Each structure stands twice: as structure tokens, then as C-alpha cells.
Structure 1
Amino acid sequence: MDRSDNFQPAVYIMANHKRGTIYVGVTSDLAKRAWQHREGQVEGFTKRYGCKRLVWFELHSTMDTAIAREKQLKGGSRAKKIALVAASNPEWRDLFFELNR
């Protein structure tokens, strides 16, 4: 596997607005992937529903654990996903700008 310097497995949630449409994803480069969603470069659900706001993320040590967590979240209820975001980001602010601090 070709790993760039930015390899950091992560699970994330994108939203179009507070308590709006949400998307759960997994990536090895969160900053790049969030930027792609923001710019509409990712065809599909996030582009169709305007999910451009990174509202929650969780870093993992391996892609295997990140993928397992993504599956767990996707299998859970919408209410649980909303509660997860609200617990750490009650204002649902866009965390994209905090990634490279």
C-alpha cells in the first residue's frame, strides 16, 4: 500500500447544517477528503445533499479499526449519530478549519 505522509485513518461525519442531513465516512487523509466534500468533488450522497460541513471525526491507529467503527456508526440510528456530534460539537460548527492547526 502506498502511504502518503498524511496517512491517518479517520471516521468522520459531514452535514449540510445543524441537525440536518448527515453522512458517515472513512478515510486515510481527513483534511484532503473533507476538502473534496466541501468542493463538491465527491460524486454521490454528500454532493447531492450539500453535506460540506465536517462536524465530527475520530482518528484511528489502523484502517481496519476505522472501517469497523464506520460500519458500527452506519448501522446505528440517526439519533445516535446526532447525539455523538452534539456531545463534542453542540453548535455543529465546521471543524475543517481546525484540522491543520
Structure 2
Amino acid sequence: MKRFIYIITDRNRNNLHVGLTSDLLKTLDFYKQMPTLFFDSAQQLNRLVYFEEINSEDMAMERFKYVSTFTRPQKEKLIRAVNKEWIDLTGALNMENNMRVRPMLRPSIGSARRSVTF
């Protein structure tokens, strides 16, 4: 089963929270529904800035324990290695998920061209 290690932050990048989940979109939705669960409204954790997908549950737990021990500069270096501008990755993740689930509404042009014979 796939596991995700993620780092989520607030709009001012004051807090960096490391988490482990099996359903990243559901976890991000939980943070949206409960914005003041961990912090006050000014420090809502709502920006996904880093995530890793790991196939093994044991390896994911080991990686989570390892990343959780990082200092703030180490976490920032990890984030900047893949997301230099600290862009919120939630939108891209939602778009990718919709592309996987979305049924094909019409046949592609390439397949229609192949079926026409003269």
C-alpha cells in the first residue's frame, strides 16, 4: 500500500509540519475542514510544499521518523531541492488525481484516424 510523507506549512512559512498518510488528498481536505485544530487562524496549515510517495509501509515509517528529526534548516533544504519557490502543490495534485479518475468522454483523434480505411 502506498504511503505519503508530506510537509505542510502556513502562508508565512512559520510552521513546518511533517506527516505520514495513506491518502494525501483526504488528509489535505481534513486540514481545510479543521483550519484551527493545531494553530490559530493566522497560522493555518494549508500549503503542501513537499511530499514523497513510498510503496512500502515499513520504509515509509522509517523515512517519516528520519524526516521528523530534521531541524528547520534541513527541512527547508529538502523542500527547496524539489520546490524552490515553495509553491502550494495541492492544486497540481488535485489536477493529476482528476486526470486519473476522469472517464474518457470521447475517443481520441488518433484512434479515430486509424479506424478510417479507404
Report if TM-score (shorter chain) is over 0.5: yes
Please, what TM-score do these two structures have when normalized by structure 1? 0.80
Per-residue CA distance 1:21-78 (angstroms, 9 max, x = gap)? 1100000001111121123268335978311100000000122211111110111111
Contact 1:8 1:60 in 2 (8 A): yes
In structure 1, what residue type is equivalent to 2:11?
H
Distance in 1, matches of 2:57 and 2:42, equals: 27
Structure 1 residue ranges, 4+ long, deviating more than 6 angstroms after superposition:
none
The alignment partner of 2:64 has SS state of: helix
Please, what TM-score do these two structures have when normalized by structure 2? 0.70
Residue of structure 1 equivalent to 2:43: 49
Structure (1/2) with the larger helix percentage: 2
Residue of structure 2 equivalent to 1:74: 68
Distance in 1, matches of 2:71 and 2:12, equals: 17
Name which one, 1 or 2, has greater alpha-carbon Rg: 2
Contact 1:16 1:50 in 2 (8 A): yes
Q: Which has the higher contact order (CA 8 A, sep 6+)?
A: 1
CA RMSD of aligned residues (A): 2.3
Match of 2:90 among 78, 81, 96: 96
Q: Does 1:86 align with 2:80?
A: yes
Number of residues of Structure 1 aligned to a counterpart in Structure 2 = 95
In structure 2, what residue type is equivalent to 1:93?
I
Any gaps of 5 or more consecutive residues in structure 2?
A: 97-118
Residue of structure 2 equivalent to 1:22: 16
The alignment partner of 1:14 has SS state of: strand
Q: Does 1:63 align with 2:57?
A: yes
